[in-house]
Each structure stands twice: as C-alpha cells, then as structure tokens.
Amino acid sequence: MLAIRDIGVDVIQLDEPHRCVLGDPQQRARFPDPEAEMRRAVDRSNASVAGVQGVTLAVHLCRRNKGRKGWVGEGSYDAIMGPLSALQVDQLMMEFTIPVAGDKRCLRDLPSRMKVGLGCVDCRGEVIDSPETIVARVEQAIEHVGKERILLTPDCGFAPGNAADIPVDEAYVKLKNEARAASALRAR
C-alpha cells in the first residue's frame, strides 16, 4: 500500500465481499461462530492498513455481484455494523440500491470519523436510474448521517468479469446521471 501511495494514489480501497455477505442469515449459518469470523476479517483489514498514512483508506462492502444475474449475499447491514465500526479506515463503500441491503438507518451506527460511499446507482440491472431517483436515495441517507459524510458512488463496479459485463455506454449514462444528481444536491 505504501508503494501505491508513494506514486500518488490518494485513495486505497479494499474490496471485502466476505464481510458483507456475513449479514446474510443463510450465509451466517454456514459459520460456527459468524461473529468471530467477522472480527477476524476486521482484524485482518486493520492489520493490512496499520501504519498507512497520507491516503484515504476505504473498504468496499460487496454482496458478490453477478451483474445481470444478481448477487450472492442478502440481508441488511445491521448484523455487521458493530464490527464494521472497528475498522480503522476513513470510509465505507456501501451498496443500497438493491432491496436486500436493508434500511439506511444503520448508517447512524457508524462512527462519526467514517464517511459513507453511498451506493446510489444500480450497477446490475438495465434500468438507468434518473438523477431524481439518485437524489431521493441520497436524501433518505441524509436522514441518518450528515450530508458532509456522504460520497455518491455506484453500488459496485461496472467492470467485466464474474458475469458483471455491463455495456460501457450504459455505465457511462448511469455515471453521468450520478454526476447530475450530485450537482442537484450541491445546488440545494
């Protein structure tokens, strides 16, 4: 990570699909002690970023997206909020466009030191979210966490692979609408 920082990268993001999937009751049932599993995951991430300064550290919480085929993990963030709060990072990138993500109320439980990369643009379906839809999702989050802590992001990446083959023209329009939503929110 230090080598990445030293070449000028200012945000380093760890991708953590395992952690978010532990919010899914069916996935949690596969572990004899899901809480210990979660603590282990947090400890490993914290060890990975220990001593890294001069960059923004982020963790992306993913449900193992499968593009048009959906996702692997379901369930709200509620079951994992305690351990997530122990992460020694600056921001959490959280998915909220899919109904299985649960309520945004959980954002209240995050430490004030953490920013929230609010997944407010769907990266899976063919539907292109309007700027107004994106604004509404952000406004729902603002009910639970200060607007100064929110970063607008897509739920996950648009990269091909793992069946997440999203046409580049579609991804462009989705991101363009996200930028329009950000402008509208700033204007308010």
DSSP H stretches of helix in 50-155: 81-85, 131-142
pLDDT of the residue at 58: 95
Please tell me the CATH code under which domain 2-187 is placed.
3.20.20.210
pLDDT digits (tens, 9 = 90+) for 99-147: 777 789 999 999 999 999 999 998 877 889 999 999 999 999 999 999 9
Domain boundaries of the chain, sorted by first residue = 2-187
Which tens digit of pLDDT belongs to each residue from 129-140?
999 999 999 999
Amino acid (one-letter) located at 108:
R
Three-class secondary structure of residue 83 per DSSP: helix
Residue 12's pLDDT band (cuts 50, 70, 90): very high
